[in-house]
């Protein structure tokens, strides 16, 4: 009865929020009883004195973890409603459903204390403004976060212990499959699949480049096996650069068992949100590496030699200076890198003034298409588009064309005679010096045009063409 005394008429005038959450889609599918118990909290809100219209069920976070990495729109809605003073009570099966990290948990407690909002779970009803209730809620939040750490440590410990023996079954690349015994890995029974994998290593010994192997497959018109899911059938598709690179860099094809090649890291993005990313570790930092674990397409020594050869083909290396700067006016050649894939940007020159531009050729190298991953400084397409003029000159030219030349201060010349030599349809030409009108009509004096022609001819010597593409 003491707990029910914490609920006042002011609380019953507000909403009663029932927060429903499961940590992962797997729990949502298997632990259906837990989800049903959380939805039954609506009946408890009715028993505490709220009506059906006052009960709000927030279940947008089903299948999302409360560790603080995922963006929980449902929890954000809950904190917003509490901060606005619209919530009288928050009901949850346990406090771990609300938050698994102290940052979100204590922020919610502070908002509930400011707006006189109470919380309730299966153990009781709590008022964050009361010292004893705040102490109990703080301990429950700390235990909830510690429970997540203990569970994760137990699971990771068991996984690492089994992986250290080479018996942890994980997804294998195409061409390999698990056998009946513990840790047994076999070749794929289809000879066509294994022949395609062996052809990659044979061509790499001959050609010495991942891209040249990929181009050889495409020139010969050969298909490559693709396994999207371990339970799906193998599909034969056009090989991609990434598929060839994955075959040459995967240690499983060399008969080695590897685990822990990546690491999950947390960081803050530009908006201050907690995010998680995957970091690829060097071979010396892998958690488990067992050479000669199973039969492979190549030996471990050949695999190491292939990795050194692939690394030597990369120029420049990471955190090293680029190559010598070639001819041209581009100041960032050999220095600028793509912000999406990290490749060095190539340089292209366009137009009469040989304006430099930068582009990333990842779309051509990796996907075999004519698209570019990134392009900077590309001039506008001349077809169907006007050449850009300074704002004031373009306004004057537009006014002249509209027939209000005097108001704009533009004095058009007299229309030439169509029958005179050099005459024609004739158009308005502005006296503004150095102006290029749309459609390629020049409005500059003839002397300047001749001088510019001589300067352009002087620059158009061998090695400095007006257009072309040069590597970075």
Residue positions annotated with a catalytic role: 23
Other beta carbons within 10 Å of 386: 12
- Paired with 226 in beta bridges are 235
- Paired tokens of 392: 């004031």
Gyration radius of the chain over CA positions:
35
For 360: left if phi > 0, alpha if psi spans -120 to 50, otherwise beta; the answer is beta
Classify strands 15-22 and 257-259 as parallel, antiparallel or unpaired. Answer: unpaired
Task: Please tell me the distance from the alpha carbon of residue 408 to that of residue 441, in angstroms, as a whole number.
Answer: 20
| Nearest by Cα to 34 from 46, 43, 44, 23 | 23
Q: What is the 3-state secondary structure (H, E, C) of 95-143?
A: HHHCCCCHHHHHHHHHHHHHCCCEEECCCCEECCCCHHHHHHHHHHHHH
Q: How far apart are CA 174 and CA 240, in angstroms?
A: 14
Q: Would you say 437 and 413 are in contact if contact means Cβ atoms under 8 Å apart?
A: no
Q: CA-to-CA distance for 37 and 92, rounded, in angstroms?
A: 10
- Contacts of 132-139 spanning 24+ positions with Cβ under 8 A: 134/109, 137/95, 137/109, 138/106, 138/109
Tokens of 171: 């997804």
Report CA dihedral (294, 295, 300, 302) to the nearest 10 degrees.
Answer: -160
Q: Which parts of 13-126 fold into alpha helices (H)? A: 25-30, 32-39, 41-47, 73-83, 102-114
**Residue carrying the six token digits 């690491």:** 263
């Amino acid at each position: 009865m003491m707990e029910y005394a914490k609920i006042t008429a002011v609380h019953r005038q507000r909403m009663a929020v029932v927060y429903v959450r499961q940590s992962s889609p797997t729990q949502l599918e298997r632990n259906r009883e837990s989800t049903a118990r959380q939805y039954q909290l609506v009946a408890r809100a009715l028993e505490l004195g709220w009506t059906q219209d006052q009960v709000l069920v927030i279940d947008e976070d089903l299948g999302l973890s409360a560790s603080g990495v995922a963006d929980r729109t449902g929890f954000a809605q809950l904190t917003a409603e509490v901060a606005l003073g619209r919530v009288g009570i928050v009901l949850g099966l346990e406090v771990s459903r609300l938050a698994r990290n102290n940052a979100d948990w204590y922020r919610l407690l502070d908002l509930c204390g400011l707006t006189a909002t109470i919380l309730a779970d299966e153990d009781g009803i709590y008022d964050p403004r009361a010292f004893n209730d705040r102490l109990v809620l703080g301990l429950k939040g700390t235990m909830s976060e510690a429970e997540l750490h203990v569970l994760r440590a137990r699971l990771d410990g068991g996984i690492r212990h089994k992986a250290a023996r080479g018996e942890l079954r994980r997804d294998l690349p195409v061409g390999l499959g698990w056998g009946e015994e513990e840790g047994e890995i076999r070749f794929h029974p289809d000879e066509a699949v294994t022949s395609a994998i062996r052809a990659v290593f044979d061509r790499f010994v001959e050609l010495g480049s991942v891209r040249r192997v990929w181009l050889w497959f495409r020139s010969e018109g050969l298909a490559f096996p693709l396994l999207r899911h371990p339970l799906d059938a193998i599909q034969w598709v056009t090989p991609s650069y990434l598929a060839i690179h994955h075959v040459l860099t995967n240690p499983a094809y060399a008969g080695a068992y590897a685990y822990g090649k990546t690491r999950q890291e947390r960081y803050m993005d530009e908006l201050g949100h907690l995010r998680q990313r995957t970091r690829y570790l060097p071979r010396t930092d892998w958690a488990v590496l067992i050479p000669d674990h199973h039969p492979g397409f190549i030996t471990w020594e050949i695999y190491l030699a292939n990795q050194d050869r692939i690394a030597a083909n990369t120029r420049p290396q990471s955190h090293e200076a680029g190559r010598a700067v070639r001819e041209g006016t581009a100041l960032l050649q050999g220095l600028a890198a793509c912000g999406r894939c990290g490749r060095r940007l190539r340089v292209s020159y366009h137009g009469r003034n040989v304006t430099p531009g930068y582009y990333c050729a990842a779309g051509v190298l990796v996907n075999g298409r004519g698209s570019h991953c990134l392009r900077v400084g590309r001039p506008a397409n001349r077809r169907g588009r006007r050449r850009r003029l300074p704002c004031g000159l373009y306004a004057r030219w537009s006014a002249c064309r509209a027939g209000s030349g005097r108001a704009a201060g533009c004095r058009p010349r007299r229309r030439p005679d169509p029958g005179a030599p050099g005459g024609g349809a004739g158009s308005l030409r502005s006296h503004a010096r150095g102006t290029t009108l749309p459609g390629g009509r020049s409005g500059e004096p003839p002397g300047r045009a001749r001088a510019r022609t001589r300067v352009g001819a002087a620059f158009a010597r061998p090695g400095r063409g007006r257009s072309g593409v040069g590597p970075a």
